[in-house]
């Protein structure tokens, strides 16, 4: 994927790490590959979800030093409180030790259950968030009806680009241009074109290069539309899922954030205040 892009950049005397030039490639989907895109989208969403879950479980771990300090601090406070009011040190220390043991036993048995609960809750809420991000009235940002699998063969997926890692064939990016037939045949001078973009390379050092290639594909599509039909195009990119890296990349490319949506799930709102969906726009 990056070979073509980097070759062009090198002609402009820009130094690029050679090891990145063959790490990924892209493929075009044919109309008969409609069922395939569902699996690719799910595969990528699962990758992003699993990456998020590992963070969630670490943040909820009960065996951290902070939790141990909390229990010891509570033990000292509780023991001192009993000693002050009962005037009996033996009574206070006995009850304090009993309470501390109870807390550790409770945490020991609760820990696996809490992890299981947090995992299940995270999966459910994250799936819901993804659906809210990409779905509207049964149709998602990919431009086909996700509920009507029997008629997927009738859906147009010609405007899909899938990005894979050369080394393990893993999906690392997905860009989908929402069908723009309305824009294609519109007589207006200005139009809005929506694009869904996801990147989950798992390799931080190639993330910007991945975004660069995905953005180049988007702009090439827009240039054709601009030259033949419209004077001005508002390119809107919907970042799907948790993707702060791509958000920062598009900011550098002069995209302006036109809307952001906080998660509707109160659990995530408390745990991750930065959990948002973003829509960015570039005027062409």
pLDDT tens, 163-191? 776 776 666 777 777 666 556 666 677 77
Both structure tokens of 219:
């702009």
Domains, the chain, ordered by start = 2-40+139-283 (3.40.630)
Both structure tokens of 86:
């009962």
Both structure tokens of 103:
């807390």
**Chain CA centroid to CA 92, Å:** 51
Could you give the 3-state DSSP secondary structure of residue 10?
Answer: helix
Tokens 């000693």 map to which residue? 83
Q: State how far the Cα of 247 lies from the Cα of 237, in Å rounded to an integer.
A: 10
Both structure tokens of 136:
């509207």
Tokens 């975004």 map to which residue? 211
Residue 85 buriedness (CB in 10 A; 0-12 / 13-18 / 19+) = exposed
pTM higher than 0.75, yes or no?
A: no
Query: Is 164 or 120 the better-scoring residue by pLDDT?
Result: 164
User: pLDDT tens digit string along 246-273?
Assistant: 778 888 888 888 887 665 556 555 655 5
């Amino acid at each position: 994927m990056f070979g073509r892009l980097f070759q062009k950049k090198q002609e402009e005397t820009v130094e690029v790490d050679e090891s990145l030039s063959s790490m990924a490639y892209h493929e075009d989907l044919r109309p008969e590959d409609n069922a395939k895109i569902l699996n690719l989208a799910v595969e990528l969403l699962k990758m992003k979800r699993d990456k998020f879950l590992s963070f969630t479980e670490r943040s909820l771990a009960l065996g951290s030093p902070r939790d141990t300090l909390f229990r010891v601090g509570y033990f000292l406070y509780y023991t001192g409180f009993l000693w002050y009011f009962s005037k009996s040190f033996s009574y206070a220390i006995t009850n304090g030790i009993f309470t501390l043991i109870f807390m550790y036993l409770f945490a020991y048995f609760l820990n696996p259950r809490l992890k299981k609960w947090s995992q299940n809750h995270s999966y459910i809420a994250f799936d819901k968030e993804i659906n809210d991000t990409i779905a509207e009235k049964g149709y998602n940002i990919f431009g086909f009806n996700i509920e009507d699998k029997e008629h997927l063969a009738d859906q147009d997926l010609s405007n899909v680009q899938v990005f894979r890692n050369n080394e393990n064939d893993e999906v690392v990016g997905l860009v989908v241009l929402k069908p723009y037939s309305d824009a294609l045949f519109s007589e207006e001078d200005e139009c809005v074109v929506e694009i869904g973009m996801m990147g989950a390379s798992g390799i931080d050092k190639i993330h910007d290069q991945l975004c660069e290639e995905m953005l180049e594909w988007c702009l090439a599509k827009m240039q054709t539309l601009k030259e033949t039909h419209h004077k001005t195009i508002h390119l809107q990119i919907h970042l799907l899922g948790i993707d702060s890296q791509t958000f920062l990349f598009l900011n550098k490319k002069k995209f302006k954030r036109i809307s952001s949506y906080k998660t509707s799930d109160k659990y995530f709102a408390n745990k991750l205040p930065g959990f948002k969906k973003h829509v960015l726009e570039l005027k062409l």
